[in-house]
Amino acid sequence: MANPKKTPQPSGSGLKSESGPNSGSGLAGSLGAVPRTFWFSVIGPLVLLIGGYFAWIQYGAPNLDRAIYGLKTENLIVTPKPPWIDADVTKEVFQGADLGRLSVLDREMSATVFNAFRTHPWIRKVFRVQKISGCQVEINVEYREPLAMIYWEMPNGLQPQNTGSTVRTGGSTDGDTQTAAPKGIGEPSERLASFVPVDLDGVLLPWRDFGSDEVLRYWLIYAKNASTSGRVGADYSDVRVKAALRLCLLLKEHRETLGLERIYVYPSANPDNSPMGSKWILEVTSHNNQRFLWGNPPGMESAGEPNALAKAERLIQLTQRPTSEQSKLVEFDLSKASKSPADSFQ
């Protein structure tokens, strides 16, 4: 019997091998079969799109916001400043606090602007910061008003940071210092005399905004060795200055009409007589050197001493007398309940 012929098996690529656990024809093999052009045409742009999105969120959108909704000085509607302020307060606040970095759309914009204006030495109070139409911001503030100039001296040659208008008593001067000695100082001395401006709260105002010709527009307060921290916007903590400012505020409306000019602060001879514990007495002097002993500061009167309003009325009566009678009135004690101009004080 003849042997059957063996059918020849196809070799090489003609055979289909079964996939096993170690075969390379799984997912990896499938990915490997993907043409490279696919990665460049689909996956590449997808990666760029995702990266661009996060870059836009991080950098692009904020910059576009600032370009369209960025805070600018012309967009700030601030309460008009009073005539005694020459400085551009809005510009100083904007630049000092770098408000240009903000967008009107920022959640913290109003609070940031509020705090920036509140810290400026010319601003006494900020009432409201509100966004309005047209990317504008309305800011309602109260400005500080100069009430008095505090006189103080320092050794010749020392120029403090906060010096306002300066005068040198005795001898000629150079630069911006005046040659005239301030009234009521007494004997001339070789010392620099400076006047620094404060408001009713005793806050030191920006002295660079005042000229030497503006000193006499305000009350002049004299307290021996009065000192200050020298920082503009800081509180003038000297209690004698605070006492004098009480009187300045009370007589503010009558200063010019009555020709009043200076307030001196002296130690009280009887500090225990004041129920408020005042250790100082005040003296008011006019431009023609009439002297009025005021006594204890307003609201701090001792027993039997007229109150502040009674003293003010008496002062008005005395200064409104005919000129012939005023020339006889050189000194008068307002702290006594007397109506006789003859009651002078030493």
Looking at the predicted structure, is the pLDDT value of residue 93 above 50?
yes
If DSSP codes are grouped into helix, strand and coil, which group holds residue 194?
strand
Element (H, E) at 264: strand 260-267
Do 126 and 212 fall into the same domain?
no
pLDDT number for residue 141: 97
Residue 211 lies in a domain: yes
Average pLDDT of span 223-231: 78
Region of poorest pLDDT, from 83-87, 160-164, 272-276, 308-312: 160-164
Reported as a single tens digit per residue, the pLDDT across 285-296 is 998 888 999 999
pLDDT number for residue 2: 53
Q: Is residue 159 a contact partner of residue 229, using CB atoms and an 8 Å limit?
A: no
pLDDT number for residue 47: 67
Domain boundary among 97, 122, 143: 143
Residue 7 lies in a domain: no
Q: Is residue 131 a contact partner of residue 175, using CB atoms and an 8 Å limit?
A: no
pLDDT number for residue 155: 52
What would the DSSP string read from start to end of 111-141?
A: HHHHHHHHTSTTEEEEEEEEEETTTEEEEEE
Residue 339 lies in a domain: no
pLDDT number for residue 276: 58
Confidence band, pLDDT 50/70/90 cuts, at residue 30: low
Domain boundary among 143, 170, 203: 143
pLDDT number for residue 191: 45
pLDDT number for residue 66: 57
Average pLDDT of span 96-118: 91
Reported as a single tens digit per residue, the pLDDT across 285-335 is 998 888 999 999 998 888 888 999 999 999 998 888 766 665 566 788 998
Residue 138 lies in a domain: yes
Do 171 and 317 fall into the same domain?
yes
Reported as a single tens digit per residue, the pLDDT across 197-218 is 999 999 999 988 888 888 889 9
Q: If we measure between CA atoms, which residue out of 307, 234, 225, 230 comes closest to residue 266? A: 225
If DSSP codes are grouped into helix, strand and coil, which group holds residue 223?
strand
Q: If we measure between CA atoms, which residue out of 293, 316, 318 comes closest to residue 305? A: 293
Question: Cα–Cα distance between 243 and 276 in angstroms, integer?
Answer: 12
Do 175 and 259 fall into the same domain?
yes
Question: Cα–Cα distance between 206 and 89 in angstroms, integer?
Answer: 11
Do 100 and 211 fall into the same domain?
no
Residue 89 lies in a domain: yes
pTM for the predicted model, two decimal places:
0.69
Residue 40 lies in a domain: no
Residue 49 lies in a domain: no
Do 201 and 127 fall into the same domain?
no
Domain boundary among 94, 125, 143: 143
Looking at the predicted structure, is the pLDDT value of residue 5 above 80?
no
Q: Is residue 174 a contact partner of residue 216, using CB atoms and an 8 Å limit?
A: no
Here the tokens at position 305 are 């001493």
Angle subtended at Cα 155 by Cα 157 and Cα 220, rounded to the nearest 5 degrees: 110
pLDDT number for residue 214: 87
The alpha-helical segments, DSSP class H, found in the chain are: 27-32, 36-38, 44-55, 61-69, 89-96, 109-118, 239-250, 308-319, 323-326
Residue 62 lies in a domain: no
Here the tokens at position 18 are 């079964």
Do 325 and 279 fall into the same domain?
yes
Do 303 and 160 fall into the same domain?
yes
Do 245 and 280 fall into the same domain?
yes
Range of the domain at 161: 146-333
Tokens 């408020």 -> residue: 276
Q: Long-range contacts for 78-82 (Cβ within 8 Å, ≥24 apart)?
A: 78/117, 78/139, 78/141, 79/139, 79/140, 79/141, 79/142, 79/143, 81/122, 81/143, 82/143, 82/145
pLDDT number for residue 28: 58
Confidence band, pLDDT 50/70/90 cuts, at residue 83: very high
For residues 178 and 279, the model is more confident at: 279
Do 191 and 108 fall into the same domain?
no
For residues 231 and 23, the model is more confident at: 231
Q: Is residue 127 a contact partner of residue 90, using CB atoms and an 8 Å limit?
A: no
Question: Cα–Cα distance between 121 and 85 in angstroms, integer?
Answer: 11
Confidence band, pLDDT 50/70/90 cuts, at residue 64: low
The CATH number linked to 92 is: 3.10.20
Do 325 and 218 fall into the same domain?
yes
CA dihedral 333, 337, 343, 346 (to 10 degrees): -40
Do 184 and 84 fall into the same domain?
no
Do 126 and 213 fall into the same domain?
no
Question: Cα–Cα distance between 341 and 291 in angstroms, integer?
Answer: 12
Overall domain count for the chain: 2
